[in-house]
Amino acid sequence: MGSGNVLGFDLNTLNSKFQDTYGQIQGLSTDLEDYSTRRYDEEYSKAGLGKMKDEIAALDASIASEKNVRDESVSKVRKNPGYSAATITGETGEVQKLADSKIGNLIEERNAKAQTYNATLGEITQKVATETQGKQTKLNNLRSDLQLISGLVDSYNKTRSTELSSKTDEAHWEKEFELKLYSAQTDRMKTGDGSGTYAKQQVKDAFGNVTGFFDPVTGQTTPYQTDSQKQQTTTVNEGELRNEIRAAWKTGMTADQLKTNLANVTTDKGKNASQVIDEEWQLKTQPGVMGFLRRLFTPGV
């Protein structure tokens, strides 16, 4: 719990990447709005295609003018009343030959320029289209990156929220558990002069014989033992005894069976086995959330 990163990114890094990517997207989107037109005009001007187009238009006009001059010259020759048929044929042929030669040169020049113009224009169009597509691809990639980063930020926030909520719940239950234990220990009836000390009380049978001692602290009754019985008592480590009791639960033994088997056993902390068995049985069977929490934090239960 408490991890400060998601997939290797902390929140500051994620926010920085988000802002940087978002800024790139905004800039690239604006650039693409008129990119094709702007770049086309730049390359068109750089290649001198505007001037070349005007030259082609001028050549077209010259070709048309030369054709008109030729046709008018031929018409004048044919309308001359002083010319014979042979003269008209010869004159018109000469006029057409000279005019056609000049017009042919103009057409050849015009077509060469048009070919260069069209080829250059095609290269510019392809170049601008490639650049535009490259920028569009970059924009799409940035948008995908932004979506990924946004998802990471969302995952980060959810993870941190879950961690904080878990920590809050854990602290809450731990505190409640501590209060319950404290209450269980301090709310028992005190005896004596009220100074906070506890006195064991004798338990007698119907004939007045002492059969045991009642401890108000634990709520347990300790059977009375003679000196010979005390000498037969076995003292064991309380932690080891509790582990044996928990293991016995798993084999199906009951609390009464264990008390009988461990009647002469006491712990190194001064408790008899019966007390420990009752405590362990209470831990094993305690209902509700507190019972669950106590078992959860007690190994082997």
Complete domains list, the chain, with CATH: 5-170 (1.10.287), 225-296 (no CATH)
pLDDT in tens, 237-295: 988 888 888 888 888 888 888 888 888 888 988 888 889 899 888 888 877 655 555 55
In whole angstroms, what is the distance from residue 114 CA to residue 165 CA? 75
Helix (H) or strand (E) holding 236: strand 234-236
Q: Dihedral, CA atoms, 57, 59, 65, 71, nearest 10 degrees?
A: -120
On the 0-12 / 13-18 / 19+ scale of CB atoms within 10 A, 180 is middle
| DSSP state letters, 5-62 | EETTEEHHHHHHHHHHHHHHHHHHHHHHTSHHHHHHHHHHHHTTHHHHHHHHHHHHHH
Q: What is the pTM of this model?
A: 0.44
Share of the chain above pLDDT 90, in %: 26
Question: Which two structure tokens, joined as six digits, stand for 39?
Answer: 């770049």
Do 221 and 192 touch, CB atoms closer than 8 A? Answer: no
pLDDT score at 126: 94
In whole angstroms, what is the distance from residue 20 CA to residue 149 CA? 11
Is 182's pLDDT higher than 80? Answer: no
Higher-confidence position of 31 and 295: 31
Do 244 and 274 touch, CB atoms closer than 8 A? Answer: no
In whole angstroms, what is the distance from residue 132 CA to residue 278 CA? 82
Is 299's pLDDT higher than 50? Answer: yes
